[in-house]
Amino acid sequence: MGRPDPSAGAYVAAIQRKLAEQDKVAYRMHAMGTSLEGSTEDILAVVGDLHSVPFDLGLPRVYTVLKLDERRDRPEQTLDDKIASVERRLGG
């Protein structure tokens, strides 16, 4: 917010570079955001670092949206597992 250009691509690229520098969480960028995979503690720490990136690039205001989805009955479940589950249902 507060940027002269309506495109956020340069900021998204900077955030993706910051993600690539860390090894706490797995991540997957998609058209409307980025999914993070890891422990809640690690995700919250990484999100804190990512939230700072646009400020570091000179923006005066940053708006971050975070949704958490945690299954304690299946802590080993991955993003790929979730996609595969739906794809199996589509195929059957």
The mean per-residue pLDDT over the stretch 40-65 comes to 95
Identify the residue whose tokens are 């990484």.
Answer: 46
pLDDT > 70: percent of the chain: 96
Can you name the residues that pair with 31 across neighbouring β-strands?
A: none
- What's at 47, amino acid-wise? V
pLDDT band at 62 (very low <50, low <70, confident <90, very high): very high
Could you give the CA distance from residue 16 to residue 50 in angstroms, rounded to a whole number? 9
Write down the pLDDT at residue 2.
63
Output the pTM of the full model: 0.84
Judged against a pLDDT cut of 90, whether residue 3 lies above it is answered with no
Beta bridge partners of 37: 26
Mean pLDDT on 45-63: 95
| pLDDT reading at 4 higher than 80 | no
